A and B are shown apart, each in its own frame.
Chain A
Amino acid sequence: MSDLTFNRKTGILIWGAENYKSVTGPYGEGQLPIGDYRIEIYKAVDSNQLKNSYENTLTGSRWFIPIDPQFSTHRYGFGIHPDGNKPGTLGCIGIKAQDASSFWTRWRNTPMTARPTKVSVYD
């Protein structure tokens, strides 16, 4: 199992040997804070009932993987999802449409016990 890392400056989410172009912020309180987050693998949602903010505009699929900061912060409600509608998020990691599909396919094809349980965010 390999965990995820996210570079806020380059906007690259790394899972093992693969890179996924992503964005965080700039809306609301901006980028998600630096630190480690637990990935709530059992709380991931894949549903067309989700809001457009979580839609992959190329495929129409909508999904959201909650992540929980493992440090003290007043901010919460973060997740990893496709960067739907207008570009940018309120602090979540929004994967660009062209990469969101391959990320989600890989996620779904990875057994639960082998899915990443941590994402480290840095500059």
Chain B
Amino acid sequence: MKTLILLIVIFSTIGCTCSNNASIESTLLQHAISDDSEEQYKSCIFLGELLLTEVEIKKINKEMESSICKYYINAKKTMSAKDQSLFIKNFPSIEAQKAIWKIHSDLGYPITFLPPYFELLISLSSTSDLALDKLVSTLNPSNAALTESTIDSLSRLYAKDTQRVMSSFIKNNTSKSLITLTIDTASYYEGENKNE
């Protein structure tokens, strides 16, 4: 499905590109810099997967306003500790996540697939305590599908690194219900691993 989404973005972008003869990257960059939040979101997803030149990355940093899109692209492209740290620190609050989720679902992306910002944070949380704390502190049970998918990933981490995840739960005052769900799901996976 991710591939399908990517192909849709590619083809719709190619459609735009043919009319003005610009490269895919420059068209996407223009959209990412634009004020239209839906266009910016779509472009961000794609730019995060593309090989970008140093010039293009500089253009993003020079022309884009500070936003999660900018931090996301930088963290994905440079993979430097500094950019990853900036991405984690600027990860949207629970309140701000609502807007991202609305764009994600309004654009027709299946809500069972996490927005890529969340996928990146989950990925970073396997090694970064800062990312893990951010992930845990922004768990929002009001959003059933997002929390269910996030807990699924978190429980796998819990099964491997129980102490680290539990420390983050305690530090972030996570609700007993979400801790129980994580532990229960992790035990399910432990059983699954033993059966393999």
Contact = CB atoms under 8 A, between A and B. Distances in A.
Interface in B143-160: 143-149, 151-153
A50 B112 contact: yes
- Classify the interface of chain A: helix, strand, loop or mixed: loop
28 contacts: A26-B177, A27-B180, A28-B177, A28-B178, A29-B141, A29-B142, A45-B1, A45-B110, A49-B113, A50-B112, A50-B113, A51-B112, A51-B148, A54-B112, A64-B110, A66-B110, A66-B111, A66-B145, A75-B144, A77-B144, A78-B145, A79-B112, A85-B152, A85-B185, A86-B181, A86-B187, A88-B184, A92-B144
B112 A90 contact: no
A79 B111 contact: yes
B111 to A, nearest CB: 6
Interface of A: 26-29, 32, 43, 45, 47, 49-54, 64, 66, 74-79, 85-86, 88-92
- Classify the interface of chain B: helix, strand, loop or mixed: helix
B145 A77 contact: yes
Contacts of A64: 110-112, 145
Given A27-B141, A28-B181, A79-B112, A51 B152 contact: yes
A51 B119 CA distance: 12
A75 B110 contact: no
